[in-house]
Structure 1
């Protein structure tokens, strides 16, 4: 048994060392591109719509509606928020609830 292990180690060790020696060195990392200056503003476009019983404020960024604030004639204002970016306003919140965690869009494809 020991002889077999010795023989296997003598055969396998040079093969492993040869394989490690053939690994090419890693290429140089590419240069970091310069920061792109964007001409668009990060401020949302706000459209205010006056109705009889309420005031509706629509918040848009890059033309996409992401939040609506509704202020009724009586009562507290509340928000309808698109939390996942699919175009449907599914979250309802008021000023009393805790604030939302900021969510930024890093990349998007149209």
Structure 2
């Protein structure tokens, strides 16, 4: 804080200083609430791999919520089952990088 700033603070009326203080508190509250509402996600989903008799199954979870299952048959092409809406209904999607659906990100 420089001398000119100190002088300008002294020149303010108590009412103006009070208004600025209230404004600073309100801004801090709004920013605090906004930061609290931002979801915090794990950087990478937890992947559980299990070997079954004729296939390898990978289950993808984020914060404990199962959102995708990747199946690699012993003799055949891999496929991914994805729960797009969080309702437990998995639909088949193209294999590749498993996307994290929006409903998982919002939890």
TM-score over 0.5 for the alignment? yes
1:42 aligns with 2:43: yes
Match of 2:85 in 1: 84
* TM value normalised by structure 2: 0.56
Q: Is the 8 A contact 2:61 2:67 kept in 1?
A: yes
* CA-CA distance at 1:93 after TM superposition: 1.8
Match of 1:104 in 2: 102
* Structure 1: runs of 5+ lacking an equivalent: 1-27
Cα RMSD, aligned residues only: 3.4
Count of aligned pairs between the two proteins: 78
Answer 1 or 2: which has greater helix percent.
2
* Structure 2: runs of 5+ lacking an equivalent: 1-22
* CA-CA distance at 1:82 after TM superposition: 0.1
Q: Which structure has the larger Rg over C-alpha atoms? A: 1
How big is each residue's C-alpha offset from its partner over 1:25-78, in whole Å with a ceiling of 9 and x where there is no partner? Answer: xxx693122845988623101000101100000000011100000000111100
* Displaced runs of 4 or more, over 3 A: 34-40, 99-103, 105-108
